[in-house]
Amino acid sequence: MKKRAEITQLSNDELFDLYKREEQTIYFGELYRRYIPMVYGVCLKYLANEADAQDAVMDLYEDLNQRMLKYAITSFHSWLYTVTKNHCLLKIRKEKQVHFVDLNEAIMENGDFFTLSDREQSAEQASALSYCLKELSSEQRTSIDFFYYENKSYADIVTITGYSLEKVKSYIQNGKRNLKNCINRMLEVKAFR
């Protein structure tokens, strides 16, 4: 391995070739250091926030030195530009998915039929609810527990469970319908006894 002073004298192509051949991070570090202004500029252009751009530069550094070894890269500059742009676009897409929840749907979910825990319930209703919760699929039960008993948002449930946003909404909606039908059946049966 070359000394630090020698490494700084190498061309970008030489650093790239040495890193691919010897897999020594010192070569990648020097190469990446030279491209930080470009990487930061691309991140700032897409993310429009200095702190986010700086974080992206660091995230890319940690990720790229391993990814470089997996690909046959002919132009490091072009490859780095494309990977940086895609990293930023993916980050923007992820943020949009998590942050936008329609308030009307959240209100509808809480206002419709029952809220599971904040209404007075008779002993029969509480017993029916407890029984019917156990009858739900595990996904529906988990989503309903988080939403109603732990006051988690859709986004929180997505993060905790790994279910998609659409699945969480579906599990809660279908779970509520199944609970309502099950509870009504149980109460009707008790009324006829």
The amino acid at residue 49 is: N
Q: Which of 99, 120, 149 is the last residue of a domain?
A: 99
- Distance CA(115)–CA(65), nearest Å, equals 50
Contact predicate 149/117, CB 8 Å: yes
The answer on 70 and 35 residing in a single domain is yes
User: Which residue type is seen at 101?
Assistant: V
Q: Both 11 and 95 in a single domain?
A: yes
Task: Kindly report the CATH number assigned to the domain that includes residue 115.
Answer: 1.10.10.10
Q: Which domain holds residue 58?
A: 4-99
Find all residues with CB under 8 Å of 82, minimum gap 6, and list them.
Answer: none
pLDDT by residue (tens digit) across 111-138? 444 445 444 567 777 788 888 889 999 9
Same domain, 133 and 110: yes
Domain boundary among 83, 99, 115: 99
How many domains does one find in the chain?
Answer: 2
pLDDT tens digits for range 50-106:
999 999 999 999 888 778 878 788 888 888 999 999 999 998 888 775 444 443 444
